[in-house]
């Protein structure tokens, strides 16, 4: 029996942490269900220069017969560089779709979506728009574009084209699904398209320790609050530092660990501006992340609670919970606040104010007195954010589309 082939296009590199956690595991999981994959990604030159890692990744993919086509990512100048990448990606995708006769084209977000449209034009493949979030609004609300700019209007036009062309649309949250099925988005959405919610899931085995799913206490010694990931655009580093300094009045030995790959200068300036001490900044690799999280006491993130973030589901939330960490997050980001409150695995900050910080910290400390808290965090990750569940949801989408093309 011939295996159906999918062309998966990602503008995030497979050698980057996001590609390692949110692209590769899903593709590998779907490959195990009998789908052959061609993986077209855009890799940063510095990552491609890590030849040992490139060779190791190729061998890993070869085990599952996944063909990897890495193209070089261009960063500056921003608009011309992205336009060039779109052109190169569209030509490569069209060639692959025609040569291999793929049955599904799976595009992770908007820029790959444009490439996928060209590939779809030369094939009869079904089209998955893995929309994830509201990218044009993200650019505006992140201060990168103006709402009256030509590039924003162009992006919205592209969005409508992608929604009209899609046989399936993937979003990360239930609020995003409700937005898509109502108002102006509904008018743009193809009548045949199904909308599926698949949050950012996590490979639980990466974060598993002996007796990881049983009740166990937090690490001994001073408490460590940890933040993992980017500090640019939507992530509110000054507010997180303010939270840390405020609650340190309750716990003078508290420490703050920031795990970040490439913005250490920005972080250092923010630390100086806040007058904070007891803060460590570490450039953690994906392989080192579980160890760092496992030694922490709680995880934190604050994200701007703007419209576009109704469609966001931070990967770090699943990683914190899988490591057994209770969390401190802010309200207004997707449906994460509802999940955290319902499962009692952390505190949700409603206002960025010091009295609110102290109230939520006291509530978290009281919650941590429950010896079963860390186990409850892991169980929440297992029930709602396990990689196997995410793969199963993608498999359901693929199955319905492939049945239509049989």
Closest CA to 223 of 241, 242, 250, 246: 250
* Residue pLDDT tens, the chain, 406 long: 468 899 999 999 999 988 988 999 999 999 999 999 999 999 999 999 999 999 999 999 999 999 999 999 999 888 899 999 999 999 999 999 999 989 999 999 999 999 999 999 999 899 999 999 999 999 999 888 999 999 999 999 999 999 999 999 999 999 999 999 988 888 899 988 999 999 999 999 888 754 444 455 666 678 999 999 988 888 999 999 999 999 999 899 999 999 998 889 999 999 999 999 999 999 988 888 899 999 999 999 999 999 999 999 999 999 999 999 999 999 999 999 999 999 999 999 999 999 999 999 999 999 999 889 999 999 999 999 999 999 999 999 999 999 876 6
Residue 101's alpha-carbon distances to 32, 104, 127, 169, 387, in angstroms, are 20, 9, 13, 22, 29
Domains of the chain: 5-199+386-405 (3.40.50.2000), 204-384 (3.40.50.2000)
CB 359 within 8 A of CB 367: no
DSSP string, 187-227: HHS-TT-EEEE----B-HHHH--TTTTS--PPPSSS-EEEE
pTM exceeding the 0.85 threshold for the entire prediction: yes
Do residues 110 and 121 lie in contact, with contact meaning Cβ atoms separated by under 8 Å?
no
- Smallest CA-to-CA distance from 255 within 222, 230, 228, 227 is with 222
């Amino acid at each position: 029996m011939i295996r159906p082939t999918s062309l998966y296009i990602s503008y995030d590199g497979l050698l980057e942490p996001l590609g390692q956690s949110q692209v590769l595991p899903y593709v590998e999981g779907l490959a195990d269900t009998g789908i052959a994959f061609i993986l077209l990604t855009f890799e940063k030159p510095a990552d491609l220069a890590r030849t040992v890692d490139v060779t190791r990744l190729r061998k890993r993919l070869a085990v599952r017969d996944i063909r990897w086509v890495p193209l070089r990512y261009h960063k500056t100048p921003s608009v011309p560089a992205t336009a060039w990448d779109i052109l190169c990606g569209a030509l490569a995708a069209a060639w692959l779709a025609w040569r291999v006769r793929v049955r599904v084209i799976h595009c992770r977000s908007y820029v790959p979506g444009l490439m996928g449209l060209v590939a779809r034009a030369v094939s009869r493949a079904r089209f998955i728009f893995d929309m994830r979030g509201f990218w044009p609004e993200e650019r505006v609300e992140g201060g990168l574009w103006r709402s009256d700019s030509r590039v924003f209007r162009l992006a919205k036009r592209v969005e409508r084209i992608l929604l009209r062309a899609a046989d399936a649309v993937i979003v990360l949250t239930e609020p995003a699904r409700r937005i898509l099925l109502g108002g102006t988005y509904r008018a743009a959405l193809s009548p045949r398209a199904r909308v599926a919610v698949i949050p950012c899931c996590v490979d639980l085995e990466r974060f598993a320790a002996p007796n990881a799913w049983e009740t166990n206490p937090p690490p001994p010694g001073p408490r460590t609050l940890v933040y993992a990931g980017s500090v640019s655009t939507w992530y509110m580093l000054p507010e997180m530092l303010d939270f840390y300094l405020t609650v340190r009045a309750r716990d003078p030995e508290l420490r703050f660990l920031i795990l970040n790959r490439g913005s250490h200068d920005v972080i250092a300036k923010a630390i100086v501006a806040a007058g904070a001490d007891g803060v460590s900044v570490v450039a953690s690799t994906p392989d080192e992340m579980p160890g760092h999280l496992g030694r922490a006491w709680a995880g934190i993130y604050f994200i701007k609670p703007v419209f576009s973030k109704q469609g966001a589901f931070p990967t770090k939330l699943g990683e914190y919970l899988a490591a057994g960490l209770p969390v401190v997050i802010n309200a207004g980001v997707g449906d994460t606040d509802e999940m955290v409150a319902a499962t009692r695995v952390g505190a949700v900050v409603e206002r960025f104010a010091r009295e609110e910080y102290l109230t939520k910290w006291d509530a978290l400390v009281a919650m941590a007195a429950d010896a079963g808290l860390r186990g409850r965090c892991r169980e929440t990750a297992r029930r709602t954010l396990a990689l196997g569940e995410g793969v199963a949801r993608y498999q359901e989408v693929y199955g319905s589309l492939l049945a239509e093309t049989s």
